[in-house]
Each structure stands twice: as C-alpha cells, then as structure tokens.
Structure 1
C-alpha cells in the first residue's frame, strides 16, 4: 500500500505559498466529439452551498477559452458526498471529474478508481504547482489528481457575546485553560447560550492530540499510538465540554448544521471551524472575528487540502484533465477563490493573497496564515473512511457516557490496528 508520508505532507503545506499561478487555454490538443461539444460532469462538495456562483464564474471562463467543452456541475454536502461518489463509481455512473480531499485520495487511488492524468495531459508544464503539492497527489509514481485549494481551521468567536459578558477576547497566546475559563463564563444555559462548540470526532481529535504532544500513528504508519496519556488528555478535553459549555448529543439531536445555525443565531460564543465558513457569516447581525486555535503543550492547526481527479472510466479524459488543470491553476480560479473567501488557492502571487487580507470581515485574517506555522495534518491510511468512523464512534460513546475515555481510546486503537493490517 502506498502512503503519503508525514514528511511529504508537511512539505506540501510548506510549499503551498511558494507555487505559481498561470492563466491560459487548457485544452490545446484536446479533441471534441464529432458533431458537438463534449460534456464533462464535475462533482464537488466544497462549492455548495456558498460558492456555487463562484464555481459558475470559473466554469464560464473555462468554457470561453475551451468552446468545445461544456462543464456540468453537480454538488452534494460533505456528509453525503463520498457515499454518493462511491455509489456512482460502483454503479458505473461516475462523474468525469470530481473533487477529492487529501484524506480520501489514497483510498480512491489504491482502488483503481482514478485516471492517470499523465496519460491525457496536454500542457505538461508543472511549474505552476509546488513539487510537494503534486507529489502528495501521486500514487505509485503516477499523477492521479491536481491540487486545487487548501484551508485551515481557526477559532471563530462572537465579539458581542464576549463584550456583554465582560470577558477578554481570545488572543493568539491562549491555551486550553484560557478557552475553558472563558467558555464557562460565556455559557448561559437558561438563555441557551453556549460558550464553546468543538465536535467530538476524528477531525478534532487528531488535532487536539497534536496540541497535547501526541501522535496518532507510529512513525512507520503500522500501529495506532493515540491510546496514550496525550490521547487521553486530548479526548478528555473534547468530551468534558459536552453538557457543560456546549450542547449534548441529545440536544443536538442529529440536526444538520446545528453548530452553524447556533453561531449565526448569536447563541454561540466560540466555534472551532474552518475558513470555508467565512462567506456564510458575512451578514450575521453581530461582530465576529477569528484567532489561531488555542493549544496545550503546543500549537497545532488543522490544514485541509482538496484536489481534482478524473474517473478511471471517463470517456473524456483529455477534457476532464483540461478542466482539472483550469480549476486548479488558472488565474481566474485563484482570484475568484480569494475574492469570495472560498478556501485558498496554492499560489505565490502576493497581489492575489493581499486581496484576501484586505477583506475587512473577519478583521484578523492574518490568523489564517499564522495557523500554517504549526500544522496538524490528518493521518492517512488506505481504509481512511473506516478509520475516521471508528474513532468518531468511540469518542461519541465517551461523550455520551457509554464508555470511559480510556476504554473508548483502547477500543478505537485496537480497531484501527486491525484496519492497518
């Protein structure tokens, strides 16, 4: 099995801001079907619901430069996306091109579901990408996806609630203890106002584990190592918020976007979430800002990467590659992302990045780049989704009081070890 090494993944992020941005026709040499245009179906999760129009802008620019191709966009929310994608692949109805996150890339590449882009590539100038970024989306030496964007997780907070409670706003120097103390003061269960929201799940756990000084997997990637004192400290940090400074599982009741609605309604003081939320918060009726997430023994921020791949069964490989190339490296795509706060393009064009920092909401956008100084990358294995589900399930059991933190971690570690065999 091919794994993306931790060193390579760290290098990927280090090189994100050292890439180049290029504009130009991506379909030189591409062939259209006789008698009409080629239709490329593109499936994405990151565009919906806030950036569909932004994607439409990129599609329009691509189609103008490539008049022989029509791009048809299909979207699904993240929590449904991979189930739908897997079903379409299994049923022989896979889209021509689709979005993949860094965590799931290995699974799809290893399963033979992706087209080797090197077999259809037209423009072979790879200088528009950081070498490390391209390498992260290779499998067995072949390029199966093109890196398109990255995003970070920050602490989003309601300035008005802090002011009303007389609590000092978060700073970059905050620790878990500072966050906990503020969350307790900001929580008013009588008014259904909560001080904090940090989901008790895999994506928050591997990050808080890093903040506590622990590691998720052994150096060679063959054994789970999160069943440790640092792991217990991280899991306890998450679990202990439930029912105290954040809602319980029963109160949330499986409601989709519960935390988003809670924050937008002015009932949540602090929210651990990603920069992809910025666009949806533009019109909330209260002041808000962001800061680098608090740490424990060290700082560690989650950084996510998305890429564009093509289906191994597509009949329009050249056109799918052309679209992937344009969406991931064109100037139109980069400037559109920046202008709309739709994650960040992996570009080195300082003028483009400066536009991101000039946007006044939130004011402390510098925190997005500061978070890149201390990175917690997700562990990646072949059976990725199963690993994520196992860890989330056992942490949920601990949060609901169905198991102790120690027992939950022991059970999760044993199950992850089985997945690694």
Structure 2
C-alpha cells in the first residue's frame, strides 16, 4: 500500500482500507472478539483522515462484520455466522471476467458467505472438477462450453450438478451451451465468438483495405502475402492444434461426408477442401510463423502485442491483453470458406454450476446467481473487453478508457453464425484425437489420406 498511496485517490484509499479489513475478517485473519487497530492507527496505515476511517468502519458495521463499542474500539463480531463456498475455477477468469473484483463485490454484498477460489488445471479441469464435486470439495465450479460438453459425455458426472432455473435476461445462445435434455446446469456469465483481429496500422502502412465480412480464406492469404512483402514480418498466426481454432474449419465445412460404392463413409469434397485450406495456411511459413508449441493460445496474443504478426484468430476474452496498450487494432468476422458461403464461427461460453450435494447449497446458488446479476455483469462490461452474458448490460455504452475494438458490438450481427463444438457431432476426446493427427500430418509423420481415414473413423464412431 505504501508504494501506491501517492497515486491513489481519496476514494480509492478508503475502498482499499475497507476491502483489506473485510478480507481479513472474512478469511479469519482477524478473529471474532478481537479488536481492530485504533482509528488513528488505521488513518496512519492507510494514509487517510480519521473522519474517512470512521466512514469506512461504518460500512463494516452495516455489513455486520464489526461492532463499535463506545470508548473501547471496533470489535470483530462474535456472533457472525460465516459459511464457506469452495469455488473451482479456471485461473484465466482473473483476466477474462475480473474474478478478483467480482469476489470482493460479492463479499461486500454477502458478508456472511466467504467464497474460496480454488484454481483448477485447464487440461485436467473436467476430471478434477468431477472428483472434487463428488467428494464434496467443491460447491460451485466454472466451465467452458467444451468442458461442460465433456462432462455431459460422462453421465455420472452430470448428475453432480444442480438443475437451475432459466434467466430470461441472459442471451439464449450463451445459456444453450449449458443445457442438456432440456435442463440448464450452469449459469452463463460471459461468451465470445472466434473473430479475426488485425493491426490497423500495418494495413494502413501497406495501403491495404481492412478485412470485412465478405473476406474468404483466399482473401486472407492474398492480403497476408502483401503484408509480409511490405513489412518483412509474418502476417497471420493462430495456434493450429488448439481445439478452439482448428474446429472452426470443421464447422465451416459442415462436416460433410459421402458414401462410396461399398457404403463406407468418406470425407466429402467440402470437408476435404476445408482441411486442405487450413493446412495450406499453417504450412505457408512466409506468412505463418513456425510456432507449433502445443495448444497455448497466449502465443498468438503475445506475437500480436509485439506487432510481430498482423492478424490473429482470437476471442473477446484474449482482447483483454490489449485493453491498456496503445495498440491500434480492430476485429472482423472470420473469413468465409468460399465466396458466397455461409458465415459460421465457433462460440465459446463461460458458465458456473452448483454441486447438487453442496452442504451450503443456498449460499452456492446465491454466488452463482450473483455472477450473472446486473451488478456483476456491469463489472465485466466496464472493466474488461469480454462480453457479459446479460443482454441489457452487454449492449449498453461505457465511459471507460479501455482500448476496445471499434467493432466491439459486431457480435450482435453474428448470432446466426454462432456454433459450439457439440454442433460438430463429435465427442471432446475425438476432437482431441483429431488435434494429435493434425500435428502428425503437419510434421510429415502421416499424410492427408491418413488424416482423412482417422476422421472418417471418428465420424463412424460418433454415429454408431
């Protein structure tokens, strides 16, 4: 605090004091029946006036966290009943939806409920969450749409979640990710389509028109070649083996198949074309960097931030990396597979579910509902580039100074193009298997025929 105090406003210093004391009381650092430091000591510690300290302490009294005793001091309430809710979440939520600030806001509103955030490994999220839900170690858990799909594919784990009442204020498409057999199992909090993000300055310097909704992948390649020739840098990148990137090309193909003379399933021409177009872009190392580092989507964001590439496939979540940078950028829809083709893009959604067997179920439901409330959704709208799931909040204007894309509200026109991984008709393990086969194909271990055969096998398995 001492290193920041000179840069903080009066109100920020006051909020910092209240937040610090509240957290120390809720997490047990300050025990019931013990006294807070004297007002003069708090004023010195937080560098505010005694009058401001008293104002802050009045807030804690109103929340039931402390009791003021005349001529003695401020005592942490003895009879305060606090329940703890264990929340398993993706660590990325800190940036995606400002989870730290949301937790502080929840604790202010519900001082009798303490939420303990437990980070879960992204790649083992579903198995870890399933085990911890069944053992009672988690009361609330966050899911991406693909993680929820994986949970649904294991019927026993889905039964661990409490069915929720629909919320008509949430975008229907955002909630759709967390429905199964007509029932809702997670409260949508935020969502994003995959979009094309581009450096406006690079386009302007090269004298090239910016991307638009009429662009095809061929247009992207042609423009990328011109950008590279002009700027001497690679011009396009995305993490090719990522489930949230290569699946886009499968969606755009419609997963078209046919049958040969013997009745066997074969990759259709449109699907074959989509896979080939995808691989042609990835393997063109004049325009596409040779960074096959796994599935870490931060790689593309880092390259774009350093202006080492001009275009990336990304999401509104990842745009948070640019919100405080003097980076001149914008977004457009992902290119079409062919001119005049149907616009399709992959949609990602974040939701929170409640353990059906939670000991403190009411508290858990209160927290899940809070994250989708107008109060919490306003934090997401004002402090991030992510899209709130609550429609009226998402579409209202903001007065902040975040570096948002000029086309931020573009997503409203793209709803008919949104599709989830589940629309491919393949299981999550099958999609992960395709990812591995694609890496083998790009490295020369297997050829296009091997890739097609494996995909045909998976399609047959999914339909059996």
- 2:237 corresponds, among 189, 197, 204, to 197
- 2:102 corresponds, among 58, 69, 89, to 58
Q: 1:50 to 1:346 in 2, by over 3 A?
A: closer
**Contact 1:117–1:321 (8 Å) recurs in 2:** no
Q: 1:283 to 1:79 in 2, by over 3 A?
A: farther
CA–CA separation in structure 2 for the residues paired with 1:383 and 1:162? 38
Note the alpha carbon deviations across 1:113-144, whole angstroms, 9 max, x for none: 554535xx7xx684444677656534445442
Shift in Å, 1:353: 1.3
CA–CA separation in structure 1 for the residues paired with 2:271 and 2:440? 16
1:41-56 paired onto structure 2 within 5 Å: 41-45=86-90, 47-51=92-96, 54-56=98-100
Shift in Å, 1:408: 0.3
Shift in Å, 1:294: 1.2
Partner of 1:18: none
Q: 1:125 to 1:391 in 2, by over 3 A?
A: closer
Shift in Å, 1:157: 0.6
Alignment pair present for 1:274 and 2:319? no
CA–CA separation in structure 1 for the residues paired with 2:137 and 2:391? 34
Shift in Å, 1:312: 4.2
Q: 1:289 to 1:36 in 2, by over 3 A?
A: same
**Contact 1:58–1:332 (8 Å) recurs in 2:** no
Shift in Å, 1:290: 0.9
CA–CA separation in structure 2 for the residues paired with 1:208 and 1:276? 20
Provide the secondary structure at the position in 1 that maps to 2:194: strand
Shift in Å, 1:207: 2.4
Partner of 2:157: 112
CA–CA separation in structure 2 for the residues paired with 1:137 and 1:155? 26
Alignment pair present for 1:339 and 2:382? yes
- Stretches of structure 2 that go unaligned for 5 or more consecutive residues are 1-78, 259-263
1:29-48 paired onto structure 2 within 5 Å: 36-45=81-90, 47-48=92-93
Provide the secondary structure at the position in 1 that maps to 2:273: helix
TM-score of the two chains, using structure 1 as the length reference: 0.76
**Contact 2:85–2:363 (8 Å) recurs in 1:** yes
Shift in Å, 1:200: 2.5
Partner of 2:142: 99
CA–CA separation in structure 2 for the residues paired with 1:64 and 1:79? 33
Provide the secondary structure at the position in 1 that maps to 2:215: coil
Partner of 1:4: none
Higher relative contact order (CA 8 A, sep 6+): 1
Shift in Å, 1:307: 1.6
**Contact 1:40–1:70 (8 Å) recurs in 2:** yes
CA–CA separation in structure 2 for the residues paired with 1:376 and 1:282? 27
**Contact 2:174–2:349 (8 Å) recurs in 1:** no
Q: 1:373 to 1:87 in 2, by over 3 A?
A: same
Alignment pair present for 1:230 and 2:274? no
- 1:242 corresponds, among 268, 277, 282, to 282
Provide the secondary structure at the position in 2 that maps to 1:50: helix
**Contact 2:88–2:141 (8 Å) recurs in 1:** yes
- Report the count of equivalent residues: 371
TM-score of the two chains, using structure 2 as the length reference: 0.70
- Stretches of structure 1 that go unaligned for 5 or more consecutive residues are 1-33, 219-223
